[in-house]
Structure 1
């Protein structure tokens, strides 16, 4: 749910010379500050700037709430009428939540439909989610799948991961297809979706839907791990621990990665780190550390760790 808190900044008028306005027009909209967006929105009638202005203003935490909500919706309404798809999508959120307007699910869906038809991935995703969970509309998994696919196509990359997962598992009415899964995971991973990168790594590590390639798995896991996805850090550590497929064996790096993932409460990493200490124990404190790690993993829900902790000698 979008939290809408606007300020009375819209009442201000900013005057700038033509050269400054031209410079603003050459700058990516998302990088402009509120004052610059107001200039483009009010003076140049730039609908994308007006839309982004609404998003910038909702992050501010001062002003009259009721008045500001109305101003936000006015911005998006005007931009939507000018066929700014993103604005239609945001206005749809206001209608679905009854924010500054009377709650109207039908109107929200109409706005999302219009925006999705104009290639707004955010709105396609909202339609997909609504059809999947049956939010104010009859459940329809087939339509949900179609809209998730469109959302991915139009740049909402979280949806690429969702579609890829359906092909990976063969769920939600989609037949299992690991080649398709690889295609969608790749799209999402390119957009830095950590879960997608991890799943892409799994495909390459196990040769599922692709030729087995541990170097490619290493790259995918690494990208996900850099994004602090602990599961991927553990998978990457396994590659370094085994040292197969052209990957140089590196116990110290594996240990660091296991530690990092365990610190993020990834139970399997705690077990692997405990196994590492148990296998390479040289000092009494390392043996104690192994037991502590098994106990930690047990508390995190790993049954294998519970058994190891119980039988630890």
Structure 2
């Protein structure tokens, strides 16, 4: 009886470990590291469909940079947005940069500034950096305007 119980426990643990190590996200990471971006994107998108926000962000980055497929800013925005809604702060920063630069979306500095501020409030250092950089630019522009 004990041998059967131990066998069942080992089988369950093995199944869990197999699913953990050989899931779409981990396979996507391996493909990405090997430079097979086309395969990586497919696997990241599958993992994103299973609500893995890291996978959504990385797939968005691949589309944003044109890795493995042609550049697709609309797809990047869609994936960054999903990851940002899932509280992936790096995805939110990438999305804010797209608004700031007007890449794939209408340029919206105010929205980007607010997003950077929120990211900074939530402790993302790059969010604080971007927020402060943009704030300095705004103050400089106001100074220049006031001198005219």
1:193 and 2:52 matched = yes
Please name the residue that 1:237 is paired with.
96
> d(CA) in 1 for partners of 2:11 and 2:93?
44
Please name the residue that 2:106 is paired with.
248
Please name the residue that 1:151 is paired with.
none
> d(CA) in 1 for partners of 2:102 and 2:57?
19
Please name the residue that 1:265 is paired with.
123
> d(CA) in 2 for partners of 1:261 and 1:108?
43
SS in 1 for 2:70: coil
Please name the residue that 1:224 is paired with.
83
Please name the residue that 1:302 is paired with.
none
Ranges in structure 1 where 5+ consecutive residues have no aligned partner: 1-80, 82-100, 117-121, 129-147, 149-158, 171-175, 285-313
Q: For 1:215, which of 68, 74, 88 is the aligned residue?
A: 74
Shift of 1:195: 0.6
Ranges in structure 2 where 5+ consecutive residues have no aligned partner: 144-148
Shift of 1:160: 1.6
> d(CA) in 2 for partners of 1:249 and 1:216?
17
> d(CA) in 2 for partners of 1:241 and 1:197?
21
Please state which structure has a larger fraction of its residues in helix: 2
> d(CA) in 2 for partners of 1:198 and 1:272?
19
> d(CA) in 1 for partners of 2:81 and 2:45?
14
Greater Cα radius of gyration, structure 1 or 2 = 1
> d(CA) in 1 for partners of 2:83 and 2:52?
7
What is the TM-score of this pair, normalised by structure 2? 0.82
1:125 and 2:19 matched = yes
Please name the residue that 1:183 is paired with.
42
Please name the residue that 1:110 is paired with.
11
> d(CA) in 2 for partners of 1:233 and 1:181?
21
Q: Would you say how many aligned residue pairs link Structure 1 and Structure 2?
A: 139
Shift of 1:278: 1.0
- What's the C-alpha RMSD, in Å, of the aligned pairs? 2.4
SS in 2 for 1:228: coil
Specify whether residues 198 and 123 from structure 1 end up closer, same or farther in structure 2 by C-alpha distance, changes over 3 A only: same
> d(CA) in 2 for partners of 1:110 and 1:226?
37
Are the equivalent residues in 2 in contact too, given 1:234–1:257 (CA < 8 A)?
Answer: yes
Shift of 1:124: 2.8
Are the equivalent residues in 2 in contact too, given 1:230–1:260 (CA < 8 A)?
Answer: no
